[in-house]
Amino acid sequence: MIERDDLQSALEMAQEQGVSTSLYFILRSGPKKSRAAGEAPYDLLRARMTQPIADEFRKALTGWLERLLANEELAFVDFDPFSTTDRNKAERQDVEEVPGLTEMLERMDSPADVEFANLDSGDFFNTLWAYAVFVHVARGRAAYFRKFSPSKVIEGSGPLKAFVDKGALTKIDSSVFNFDQQADALVIGDEVLVLQKTYFEQIFELTARIYGPQADAAIHKLAASGLLSDWKALEEACEGDEGKLKKLADIDKNIPLEKITFEKLEAVQRHWGVDVKLDPDSRQVVVDPKKAWNILKLIDDDHLSSPMTRERYEVQSKRKVPPRPGAPAGGGRRRKTKSAKRGKPA
């Protein structure tokens, strides 16, 4: 497992004079199902860039290494997609466990064999999925990956697209790519340090692989519970939707469905005004595919109250809080997270 000494060694090698840096563009190719199964690799193209730009990319990598090393409480743990983000923990995973990453890194290590990207192509940025900065250190690997966002590109030739030059607005004739210094994953040697889970999962299309089994388990449990009028319709409504797959996985992991009754669902639906139809005759949630997300949030217990302010919240994420010794049992409330959204008073 990676240790602090590995980060320090990578930092020192990346800071050596004469170390070259390559920027690679990662494009998706082939059907998504094939890519997830490892049948069709990503397309990889190299960027032409000036030395000052290459130096800035190298500084971005060394900056991340310096920040990690500055945290004396940092501990290295195995990657857990369901764990809570903790600045004092660096989640790691073997490179070979990430689909397509080993082959991609091997190609990056030989830049002369990778074709240059045609950045003048009109549709290039429409197919760009992510990019990677690879610093060619003496031993091992040092690289970082970043998910691409279309908002980072300002395409030229527009009549009102301009930049400031010596205090005056000047027309942009070429596309401008506004890179930042953020990273979603670092590769040090044969291991990946996951910095931004969501983007890391998106870059390597891990959602179905990671959350699929638990999402399937949740659907089967919901089918057996009899709470839904048409569990198959809910399954179809969630297929291919990364957010809904994660929600189903969360239900499987955290929600004891055997404790959920129609009366409890009805009470929550009525009290919070959840836009879900309940059938008192069949005592089931009526599955409307258009309301799939509302159904999942209802079952995932996302409608909570604060015991301090008596405010009601619809939360986007949550974590269970262990009961305090001596505290009354069965309070049924959970600590709100920063991502909670305040609801309207009753």
- Are the CB atoms for 26 and 132 separated by under 8 Å? yes
Query: Which amino acid makes up residue 195?
Result: L
Q: Is 335 helix (H, G, I), strand (E, B) or coil?
A: coil
Q: Tell me, what's the pLDDT at 31?
A: 53
Q: Which two tokens stand for residue 141?
A: 């690997």
- Give residue-wise pLDDT tens across range 216-241: 999 999 999 999 999 999 999 999 88
pLDDT at 30: 56
Residue 209 pLDDT: 87
Q: What is the pLDDT of residue 41?
A: 60
Cβ-contact 156, 176 below 8 angstroms: yes
Q: Residue 214's CB: how many other CB atoms inside 10 A?
A: 19
Nearest to 216 by CA among 235, 231, 241: 235
pLDDT value, residue 29: 65
Amino acid 127: pLDDT: 79
Instruction: Give the chain's end-to-end CA distance (angstroms, integer).
Output: 52
Residues in the chain with pLDDT values less than 50: 33-40, 331-340, 342, 344-346
The position carrying tokens 């990346």 is 14
